[in-house]
Amino acid sequence: MHNAILAVDFGSTYTKVTAISNEKAEILGTSKAFTTFETDIRDGLNAAVQELEKQTGKLNFSHKLAASSAGGGLKMVAVGLVPALTAKAAQTAACSAGAKVVKTFSYELTKADCAKIRQINPDLVLLSGGTDGGNKDVILHNAKMLAEIDAPFSVIIAGNKAAAEDAQTTLQAGDKHAVICGNVMPAFNTLDAEPAKSAINTLFLEKIIEAKGLTQAAREFSAPIIPTPLAVFECTQLLSQSLGDLLAVDVGGATTDVYSMCAGTPTLPGVALKGLPEPFAKRTVEGDLGLRHSQETLVEKLISDGATGNNLLPVGLEEYRKTCKENYAYVPEKNHPHAAIDALLCGIAVDMAVTRHAGFLESSYTPFGEAFSQTGKDLTGVRYVIGIGGSVIYSENPPEILKNATQKQRGKILKPASPKLLLDKKYIFAAMGLLARMDKKRALSILESEL
Partner 1 sequence: MNGKTLVMGVIGADVHAIGIKILSHAFTEAGYNVVNLGVMVSQEEYIEAAIETNANAIVVSSLYGHGEMDCRGLREKCDEAGLKDIPLYVGGNLVVGKRDFAEVEKTFLDMGFNRAYPPGTPPEVGIADINKDLGLA
Residues that bind partner 1 (CB under 8 A): 81-82, 84-86, 130-131, 133-136, 185, 188-189, 272, 274, 364-367, 371, 373
85 HSE (CA, 13 A, CB side)? 18
Q: 89 vs 446, which CB is nearer to partner 1?
A: 89
User: Rounded CA gap, 294 and 237, in Å?
Assistant: 28
Name the minimum Å distance from CB 328 to partner 1: 39
> Which distant-in-sequence residues (6+ apart) come within 8 Å of 427 by Cβ?
16, 30, 388, 389, 390, 393
Q: How far is the CB of 276 from partner 1 (least distance, A)?
A: 11
In the bound state with partner 1, the residue whose beta carbon lies nearer, of 82 and 120, is: 82
C-beta closer to partner 1: residue 88 or 292: 88
Q: How many other CB atoms sit within 10 Å of the CB of residue 24?
A: 11
Contact call for residues 184 and 90 (beta carbons, < 8 A): yes
Of 127 and 232, which CB lies nearer to partner 1 in the complex structure?
127
Cα atoms in the 13 Å half-sphere on the side-chain side of 13: 12
Who's near 207: CB < 8 A, 6+ residues apart?
123, 124, 154, 177
Crossing angle for the helix pair 296-307 and 317-326, nearest 10 degrees?
A: 180
Nearer to partner 1 by Cβ, of 182 and 213: the residue is 182
Q: At what angle do helices 137-147 and 111-120 cross, to 10 degrees?
A: 50
Compute the least distance from the CB of residue 366 to partner 1, in Å: 4
Minimum CB separation of residue 189 from partner 1 in Å reads: 8
Closest CA to 100 of 70, 139, 65: 70
The nearest distance, CB 188 to partner 1, in angstroms, is 5
| 196 Rama class: left (phi>0) / alpha (psi -120 to 50) / beta | alpha
Task: Please count the other Cβ atoms lying within 10 Å of the Cβ belonging to residue 61.
Answer: 18
The residue among 136 and 426 lying less far from partner 1, judged by its C-beta, is 136
Closer CB to partner 1, 67 or 185, in the complex: 185
CB of 443 to partner 1, least distance (A): 40
Q: Helix, strand, coil: what percent of the chain each, to 5?
A: 40, 25, 35
**Residue 199 pairs with which residues in a beta bridge?**
none
Least spacing, CB of residue 130 vs partner 1, in Å: 6
| Shortest distance in whole angstroms from residue 135 CB to partner 1 | 4
| Dihedral over Cα of 205, 211, 216, 220: its sign | negative
Nearer to partner 1, 188 or 334 (CB): 188
